Amino acid sequence: MLRPGWTGRTPSRSSRTSRPPGLGAFLEGQAAPPDVDLVICDTRPGLPAQLREAVKVADVILIPVRPSGPDFSALRSTLELIKILARVAVAVRIIISQAMPVTILARDARDAAAQFGAEVCRAVIYSRIAHAAAAAAGRPIFQYPPESPAAMEMDQLPREVWRDAHSHPS
């Protein structure tokens, strides 16, 4: 969990005061203490300036992609930009997200994503009513209800990323 301090805002260019460190420096600072093993930065799609900074200091980058033509088209561009911006040792993983259960698109999504050359997570986040219900109730999916397929799918992703990160030391 990120510590307080990052507002996500950048001061205006006209500001003559000293600039606070960018997101990249902030994330490195969050990961520096010996008791911090993992810092997660969830961003909006695309590669805005803040995300570009995060890519430069990341060890692992997860790219969620829906099983659709437009998302796979955007994936190619995102992967190319990450190759340009990221440090050499970054691990890029694609996560199939918002897939409709028991559909041909969902079934074929992992194979389609694998063609882009990045590792595809075994975990898949399916589009389920429980996600909307949990959001409407203002509760995380892990609590609404915790034994639901949606909660179990969401639980698989961090476990997979954590396990893989520790089995492939950089």
The per-residue pLDDT for 82 is 85
pLDDT of 32 over the 60 cut: yes
- pTM given for the model: 0.72
- pLDDT tens per residue, range 79-103: 888 888 887 778 889 999 999 999 9
- Confidence band for 38, pLDDT divided at 50, 70 and 90: low
Residue 6: pLDDT over 60: no
∠ CA(157), CA(62), CA(28), 5° rounding?
Answer: 110
Tell me the sheet residues that pair with 124.
Answer: 96
Measured between alpha carbons, how far is 136 from 119 in angstroms, rounded to an integer? Answer: 33
The partner residues of 21 in beta bridges, in order of sequence, read none
- Res. 39 pLDDT band, cuts 50 70 90: low
**Domain ranges for the chain:** 25-127
d(CA 1, CA 17) in angstroms, rounded, equals 29
CB atoms within 10 A of CB 137: 10
- What is the pLDDT at residue 133? 92
Q: For residue 35, which phi and psi values (nearest 5 degrees)? A: -90, 5
More confidently predicted of 33 and 20: 33
Q: Which range, of 26-30, 60-64, 114-118, averages the lowest pLDDT?
A: 26-30
Listed range (73-77, 94-98, 128-132) with the worst mean pLDDT: 73-77
Q: Please determine, for residue 60, whether its predicted confidence score (pLDDT) is greater than 60.
A: yes
pLDDT value, residue 150: 94
98 sits in the region (left: phi over 0; alpha: psi -120 to 50; else beta) called: left
N- to C-terminal Cα separation, the chain: 22
Listed residue (138, 137, 131, 120) closest to 153, CA to CA:
131
Is pLDDT of 157 > 70? yes
Mean pLDDT estimate for the chain:
78
Residue 113: is its pLDDT beyond 50?
Answer: yes
pLDDT of residue 42: 64
Q: Is the dihedral of CA 62, 66, 69, 70 positive or negative?
A: negative
25-127: CATH architecture: 3-Layer(aba) Sandwich (3.40)
Q: CA-CA distances (angstroms) from residue 10 to 6, 24, 56, 93, 122?
A: 10, 13, 18, 28, 36
Neighbours of 83 (CB within 10 A): 11
